[in-house]
Amino acid sequence: MQGYDVYRKAMTEDQWRGWWVTWPLSNRVRLGDVYDRQGDAIRRAGDLNGRGISFIPERGTSPGTFVYDSNQSVDVRLKASGSAPEALSVLAKADAGASVKFQKERTAFVVFREISQWGIADVRSLSNALVSLWWNNGWDDSLLAVTSVVSAVGGTVLSAAETGAVAELKVSAAAGVAGGPGMADLALGASIVRRSALGAAWTGPDVTPFYQVVRLRQDWLGRVVAQYGPRPPGRGAQPSALPPLLSEEIGDDPDAVLGLAKQADQLPFASPGDG
């Protein structure tokens, strides 16, 4: 199992069930982004604002700091600046940091600091807007819209390729001040200074580790075509209004129109050179 797969499995079986997991974390996902499914990958295709769809962001509830250690199978030992390092450590006495030791293979240690969650508030309005675009040939069946995003000011993700994997992290000497660093300090301004038998290994600032996307339901679109006929041809300068009964149907049950993409359907980001 690859390092990312270990990390993704750990996240989706725990608190972030129902979310897509960003990897690598250097990819930034924003509320309202649009992605196009191309083969076995997704590529950014602008955003909702650029397609004439405005929305109101709504703040959700989320933990300030998220720490995951695979059911306490990961031994994390924090080191304050000025304390003696462990044997075989590459940290100096003046360094603050931590050693992370994995007691089992295919386990993960994850810290995200200062998490915030945002979503699109009015799903009913979004459903109507996306169907209007589709009706006027401005939205393809392959497109996905980002409707929820989890952001963090920093994060660290480590996974073990085998039992006994080890990582050492160095953080700012000022972390935790006199009390030494805390778990949250391992997610911001940290660097990996020693590693052995790791799978995934990433640390950095300004991350969007989890997100959700929606798409127009194929079965619903099929019923629309069967009931109302094919869409008007082309992309005219004057968009065609939706049939009134169709707009009413969307307003009555927007969840029948938009479907949340499942975790099992997640696709990786296309490489910059692809396509």
Q: Taking the domains of the chain in order of start, what are their residue ranges?
A: 3-80+95-265
In the prediction, which pLDDT does 274 show?
57
Distances (CA, A) of 77 to 89, 182, 207: 12, 10, 25
Q: How many CB atoms lie within 10 A of CB 9?
A: 16
Indicate whether 1 pLDDT > 60.
no
Q: Stretch 16-40: mean pLDDT, rounded?
A: 95
pLDDT value at residue 233: 75
State what percent of residues in the chain have pLDDT above 70. Answer: 95
How high is the pLDDT of residue 153? 95
Contact 113, 122 (CB under 8 A): no
Express each pLDDT in 163-192 by its tens digit.
999 999 999 877 766 678 999 999 999 999
Q: Is residue 120's pLDDT more than 70? A: yes
- Residue 47: the pLDDT is 98
CA 48 – CA 189 distance, rounded (Å) = 33
φ/ψ of residue 76, rounded to 5: -115, 120
pLDDT of residue 62: 74
Could you report the per-residue pLDDT of 198-215, keeping only the tens digit for each? 999 999 999 999 999 999
Which of 108, 106, 115, 105 is closest to 76 using CA atoms? Answer: 108
What tokens were used for 208? 């969007």
Separation CA 8–CA 18 (nearest Å): 12
Tell me which residue has tokens 């650029």.
50
Cα(184)–Cα(181) distance, integer angstroms: 8
pLDDT exceeds 80 at position 216: yes
Report the C-alpha gap between 219 and 19 in whole angstroms: 23
CA distance 141 to 143: 6
| Whole-number Å distance between alpha carbons of 204 and 201 | 11
